[in-house]
Amino acid sequence: MTEVIATNETILVVGGGISGMTAALEAAETGKQVVLVEKRPYVGGRVTQLYKYFPKLCFPTCGLEINQRRAKMNPNLNIVTMAEVTDIKGEAGDYTATVKISPRYVNENCTACGDCAKAVEAEFDDEFNYNIGKRKGAYLPHRMAHPQRYVLDPAIIGSDDAQKAKDACKVNAIDLDMQEETIEFKAGAVIWATGWKPYDANKIQPYGYDRIANVITSVEFERMADPNGPTGGKLQRPSDGKEIKSVAFIQCAGSRDKNHLLHCSRICCMASLKQATYPADEVDISIYYIDIRAIDRFEDFYQTVKAKENVSFIKSKVASIVENKENGNPTLHGVDTEGYNRYANEHDLVVLAVGMEPSVDKASFPVEIVINEEGFIEPAPENGGVFAAGCSSDALDVNRAVQHATGAALRAIQVVNRVAATEG
C-alpha cells in the first residue's frame, strides 16, 4: 500500500515534468512538505525526450541529473509515479485529493539490472520514442529514468512472460499481485503542472502524416537524432532506412490555424532552427515558414542558423504534400509568398513542426479552475489555492516554464504559510 503522509500544510504538485519538478523542489527546499504525483513511471516529462536544448545546444540530461540529485537528497519531497489525481475537493488551505495509482509490478528492491527484460519475449510500441521502435514487456522507460526501477507492461500480466520475468529477478523485486490503488490525502495548496502534448498530426490531412512514411513530426525527429534513441542517432527515412540528404521543416503545422490550434505554439520555430543543426552540413535543409518567431535572446540563434550555407528559408504555408510513389519522397506543393512562384519540391524527409496543446482536456480537470479557449489555465483569483506551473498555463520553453514554476511554488508556499499561521 502506498503511504502518503500529508496535512493541510502540504503542497500537492500534479505532473513531474521540468515545471512540476522545479516547483516541488523549490517548495521542498524551503522546508515545505511536498507530494508530487506523476502519471508516467518516471519524472522529467517531455524534456527527457529531447536530444538537445536551444539555443545553447546543450543536453537536457544535465539539468535532469541535477534535479534528480536534489530530489534524492530532500526528505520533504515524496514522489508518487504512475499516479493520477482523479478528484480535488475543498478550498485554499484545505483540499482533499483522490489519487489513483496504477501497479508497476516492480517494487523498491529493483536494482535495474535488466534480467527481467532479457527473460520476456513480448514487445510493445515504445511510447518514450513516440512509438518508433519497440520495447520489451519488462522495461526501463529510458536510461536516465527516475526512479531507476523497471516496469511490467500490464498486458503481460497473467502470461508466461510475467512468470519468466519474476523467475529471472534475483532480488525478488517483481510482485505480480500488485493492484491498482486509490488513496486520499490532504493538501493546503495545489500546483498544476501537467504540461503539454504534441498536436495530433493525423488531423492535418493535407500533410499526409497518416499515409506518407517519410512525413514525421518534430518530436519524433528529436528521438531520431538522439544517439540513445531508436535509430542510434542516425537520421534516416522511416520508409527504407536511407540516410537523409534533404529535409524540409514545415512550420505552424497545426498552429495559428482556425481548423486546428488558434494559438502560436511559440516553441516550434526555435525547435526547427535547433533541429536544422542536427544533420551534417552536407544535408540540404529547407524551412517553410509564415514568419519566424525568435524573440529576445533567440534572435542571435536564428541569425546563426540562417547564415548556414545548407539551410534555406521559404516563406510559404505549404498547401499539401503528395508522395512520389517511385522513390517515397514527399513532394511539397504551395506558393512562395516572396516571389509568388508555385513550387512542387521533393525532399527525402519532411518534419512537421507540430503545435503544443495542453495535455489535460478541458473536460477532464478534476478540480474547478479557470481555463482559456485554448485549454490553458488562466491565473484567476477563482482558482483559490490552485496554481498553474509551466506549459499547463501556455506553450513555453524550458527557461520560461522553470521561471513560471518558481513563481507558482512561491504562491503555494504563501497559502500554506497562512494555514500554519492560523493553526500555530
Ligand X SMILES: Cc1cc2nc3c(=O)[nH]c(=O)nc-3n(C[C@H](O)[C@H](O)[C@H](O)COP(=O)(O)OP(=O)(O)OC[C@H]3O[C@@H](n4cnc5c(N)ncnc54)[C@H](O)[C@@H]3O)c2cc1C
Residues in contact with ligand SF4 by CB under 6 A are: 106, 110-116, 150, 168-169, 171, 173-174
Residues 37-56 that bind ligand X (CB under 6 A): 37-40, 45-47, 50, 53-54
How near is the Cβ of 126 to ligand SF4 at its closest, in Å? 17
How near is the Cβ of 406 to ligand X at its closest, in Å? 12
Identify the burial level of 100 via C-beta atoms within 10 angstroms of its C-beta, where 0-12 means exposed, 13-18 middle and 19 or more buried. Answer: middle
What, of ligand SF4, ligand X, none, does residue 113 touch, CB below 5 to 8 Å by kind? ligand SF4
What, of ligand SF4, ligand X, none, does residue 173 touch, CB below 5 to 8 Å by kind? ligand SF4
Identify the burial level of 271 via C-beta atoms within 10 angstroms of its C-beta, where 0-12 means exposed, 13-18 middle and 19 or more buried. Answer: buried
Residues 71-100 that bind ligand X (CB under 6 A): 84-85
Give me 237's grid cell. 527515412
What, of ligand X, ligand SF4, none, does residue 169 touch, CB below 5 to 8 Å by kind? ligand SF4
Question: By C-beta, is 150 or 207 nearer to ligand SF4?
Answer: 150
| 357 near ligand X, rule: CB under 6 A | no
Which one of 118-126, 154-162, 313-321, 352-360 is the stretch in contact with ligand X (CB under 6 A)?
352-360
Q: Which of 398, 409, 415, 419 binds ligand X (CB under 6 A)?
A: 398
Q: Which of 8, 10, 19, 81 binds ligand X (CB under 6 A)?
A: 19
How near is the Cβ of 161 to ligand SF4 at its closest, in Å? 13
**C-alpha 143: how far from chain center:** 16
Question: By C-beta, is 46 or 136 nearer to ligand SF4?
Answer: 136
What, of ligand SF4, ligand X, none, does residue 48 touch, CB below 5 to 8 Å by kind? none
Q: Which of 6, 110, 356, 409 binds ligand X (CB under 6 A)?
A: 356
For residue 336, the cross-strand partners are 341
How near is the Cβ of 129 to ligand SF4 at its closest, in Å? 20
What, of ligand X, ligand SF4, none, does residue 67 touch, CB below 5 to 8 Å by kind? none
Which one of 32-40, 74-82, 247-255, 316-324 is the stretch in contact with ligand X (CB under 6 A)?
32-40
- Angle at the Cα of 82 from the Cα atoms of 195 and 162, rounded to 5 degrees: 140
CA–CA distance from 140 to each of 14, 40, 393, 419 (Å)?
A: 22, 12, 30, 40
Give me 246's grid cell. 534533404
How near is the Cβ of 232 to ligand X at its closest, in Å? 20
How near is the Cβ of 397 to ligand X at its closest, in Å? 3
How near is the Cβ of 52 to ligand X at its closest, in Å? 6
Question: By C-beta, is 201 or 419 nearer to ligand X?
Answer: 201
Residues 197-226 that bind ligand X (CB under 6 A): 198, 218-219, 222
Query: Can you tell me the distance from the alpha carbon of 315 to that of 329, in angstroms, rounded to the nearest whole number?
Result: 21
Question: By C-beta, is 125 or 167 nearer to ligand X?
Answer: 125
Question: By C-beta, is 106 or 212 nearer to ligand SF4?
Answer: 106
Long-range Cβ contact pairs of 66-72 (< 8 A, separation 24 or more): 67/18, 67/21, 67/22, 67/25, 67/43, 68/43, 68/144, 68/146, 70/25, 70/29, 71/21, 71/24, 71/25, 71/43, 71/146
How near is the Cβ of 370 to ligand X at its closest, in Å? 18
Give me 348's grid cell. 527525402
Question: By C-beta, is 107 or 337 nearer to ligand SF4?
Answer: 107
Q: Which of 24, 152, 253, 271 binds ligand X (CB under 6 A)?
A: 271
What, of ligand SF4, ligand X, none, does residue 116 touch, CB below 5 to 8 Å by kind? ligand SF4
Query: Can you tell me the distance from the alpha carbon of 137 to that of 151, in angstroms, rounded to the nearest whole number?
Result: 8
Which positions touch ligand X (CB under 6 A)? 14-20, 37-40, 45-47, 50, 53-54, 84-85, 193-196, 198, 218-219, 222, 267, 271, 274, 356, 359-360, 390-391, 396-399, 401
